[in-house]
Structures are given as C-alpha cells and as structure tokens.
Amino acid sequence: MKFKIIHETKYTFNSEVYLEPHQLRLKPKGTSFCNLESFDIEIFPKPIGIKEQFDPENNVINFAWFDKGTTSLDIRSTSVITLSEYNPFSFIIYPSEYLNVPFEYSDDLKSTLYASLEKAYINQLLIDYVNKTLEKSNNTMDFIANLTKQIHQDFQLSYRHEGSPFEPNKTFELKNGSCRDLAWMQIHLLRNFGIAARFVSGYYYIEMEYPSYELHAWVEVYIPGTGWIGFDPSHGMVTGNTHISLASSSDFNQAMTITGSVRGSASSELTNYLYILKF
C-alpha cells in the first residue's frame, strides 16, 4: 500500500509576533513495515535556517529558526510512504519471567527504561479498575490487550485539538477523552503496575467513505522479546501497519509534532489539515 500524507498546521496571530526556534516532529519513522520514500517540509514565513537532527529519544526533529516578525506561521509536510504486511504478534517473550504480571525488569533495563517507568499518582479507583482486568488473566500480553480493549469499551472517544493530555484521574472520572487523554491514562495505569510505557504520536489510516483524518496518539509498551509494541486504547487494538509513528517519548511533551514559542502579546488561532491519500 502506498500513501501520500499531507499535514498542514497554521497559527494565525491577531498582532505581530517574533517566532522563537521551533522543533518539528513530522517525519514518519522508517520501520520494518513502513518505507519512507520522500519527505518535504515547507514553512511560511521561511526560516533563516532549518536542520534535521535527532532528539535524545532518537526522534527526527526539523529544528527551524527565524529572524522576522509575522502574523502567521504555516507548516506543511508532505510524505510518501509504502506500507508492507506486518504481523505484530511475531515475537516470543524472553526470558520467561516476563510472561506473567507482576514481573520486575533487570537492573540494566530499569536504568535504561527509567523515564518510561516514572509514575504519576493514580487513585484507588484506577488501581481497582486495573486489578479487575488482571483478574481475567495475568499473562502479560493478555493483560495489556485486555486493558486496552476495556478502556475502548468503557470510555467515550472525543476530539480535542489543543491542550495537554488530562491527568489520568480526570480522564477516568470523565469516562471520556481524546486519543492522547486515553493513551496518557493507560501509560500511567501500566507504569503503576511496573510496566514500561511511552507516548506515541502519529497517523492512523482507516478506509472511510468520507475521509477525515486527525493526528493520533497511542501507547508503546516494552516487554523483553517483543521490544516496543504498540497498543491503541482509542480503538481497543494492538497497533499494526496502518499506525504510522512520528515520535515516541516517555513524556508526551517530547512527542508533540510542533513545539516552540513566540515573543509578543498576541492571541492565536490554530487550524489543522490532514490528508492521507492511498494510491
């Protein structure tokens, strides 16, 4: 399957501002099933410099800096990718002590995975919620898959274009959230049960009669033998070859597609356009 992805983000300011340097995480990651054939990024106003680099978690960043005032910032990326067949269940969990929950990572892995094990406070209601899922099966993969499906069943998916993910307790109380709210909640449910989890931003392709796409977020979990494997609580599924990753991080802030600031007192309006074209 071959796709063209056009992603445009536009900020409009009600008075002139000065753009500080911006970090853009818009280049799809090449994987065993995703071949990036081409990538182009256009920015208006044109930056005086742009450099492709890797952040500390190996995400590709286009780092752009500017020298003029402006009343708008328009960022348009165009990617052409080819997706091949992919079996997300082609693995074995090894060593065997990771087959069932609870388990404890080796000291070396604890050090490497430290940031993805850092817990946020969750209340007893959330702990009880996870324990009910754990009672069904303590097999590691069954437990994580069951929790992903349960969140999909119990929470209403909504669309919120701006803002950080809600804290896990708030999402649980609302029983409603955006994809990033549900992902951030599941990450901390897993971390509180000793499982390393991180936040992923990217695209999810599904065939629709009237296509309408949004930036998507999901979860990746690290289990020895599987490596990092994706789970999508918004859709209750293990991720496959139509989940196209842009960035992954232990901290959602470091997986945002666009980060940067402006100098000035203007208010802003954000518009996003995402087109995924199969050909």
List pLDDT tens digits, range 223-257.
999 999 999 999 999 999 999 999 999 999 999 99
Res 212 pLDDT > 80: no
Which pLDDT score, from 0 to 100, does residue 208 have? 75
The pLDDT of residue 171 is above 90: yes
**pLDDT attached to residue 276:** 94
CATH (residue range 96-240): 3.10.620.30
pLDDT tens, 181-190?
Answer: 999 999 999 9
- Looking at residue 4, its pLDDT comes to 97
pLDDT digits (tens, 9 = 90+) for 260-272: 999 998 999 999 9
Whole-Å CA distances, 122 to 125, 171, 187, 191, 237: 8, 11, 11, 10, 23
Residue intervals in the chain for CATH 3.10.620.30: 96-240
- For residue 200, pLDDT over 90 is answered with yes
Residues linked to residue 268 through DSSP beta bridges, in sequence order: 13
Are the CB atoms for 7 and 244 separated by under 8 Å?
no
* Average pLDDT of the segment spanning 85-112: 96
3-state secondary structure of 30: coil
pLDDT score, position 34: 96
The per-residue pLDDT for 159 is 87
Residue 99, pLDDT > 90, answer yes
Amino acid code (one letter) for 195: I
198-214: burial string, b at 16+ Cβ within 10 Å, e else: bbbbbbbbeeeeeeebe
Cα separations in angstroms, 70 against 22, 23, 45, 46, 62: 14, 18, 7, 11, 20
Confidence of residue 37 (pLDDT cuts 50, 70, 90): very high
Mean pLDDT for all residues in the chain: 95
Lookup: tokens for 93: 């969990």
- For the cut 90, the answer to whether the pLDDT of residue 49 exceeds it is yes
The pLDDT assigned to 199 comes to: 98
Q: Does the predicted model carry a pTM greater than 0.85?
A: yes
What class is the 2-84+258-278 domain? mainly beta
Give percent of the chain with pLDDT exceeding 70.
100
Give CA separation, 50 vs 61, 65, 263, in Å. 10, 7, 19
Alpha carbon 104 to its chain's center: 25
What residues does 247 pair with on adjacent strands? 201
pLDDT over threshold 90, residue 161: no
E strand spans, 85-195: 156-157, 176-177
The percentage of residues in the chain with a pLDDT greater than 90, rounded to a whole number, is: 92
> Where do you find CATH 2.60.40.2250 in the chain?
2-84+258-278
Question: Which residues lie closer than 8 Å to 249 by C-beta, 6 or more apart?
Answer: 57, 59, 198, 199, 255
Write down the pLDDT at residue 32: 92
pLDDT tier for residue 210 given thresholds of 50, 70 and 90 = confident
